[in-house]
Amino acid sequence: MKQYVDFREEAEDSARSRWYDTLLAGFVLLKRDCGEDVATRICDLSLDNQCLYPYEMERAGQELKNGGNADTLFQLMEEGLLEAPTPVFPKLKDVLNPVLGQEPEMTSQL
């Protein structure tokens, strides 16, 4: 798709792997900051062939917490209003291990 994490071109396999990493990290942050229900609702956008960039998730999560819905998010997405001022691609290793030397707690849920 020629879309790259941190906007750096790379081989297809590593590019795909880095997208998965940053998307999962985005969902971990979303669950932490907005709750499991909001994270699930944003993840479920994929059922309508929609997907947010990691740097759109925070704004989308706040919108849902404030009573928005998928239609609201689609409108904001089309208008470019979900994007963060500076695109950030979180890394799973940074999200799961915020304190140096502390092992992350892994669960089977998001």
Q: What is the pLDDT of residues 17-72, one digit of tens each?
A: 888 999 999 999 999 999 999 999 999 998 988 888 889 999 999 999 999 999 99
> In this predicted structure, what is the pLDDT of residue 99?
47
Per-residue confidence (pLDDT) for residue 11, from 0 to 100:
87
CA distance 77 to 50: 10
Position 108 pLDDT exceeds 60: no
Any idea where the domains of the chain sit in the sequence? Answer: 5-91
Q: Any idea of the CA torsion for 41, 46, 51, 54, to the nearest 10 degrees?
A: 50
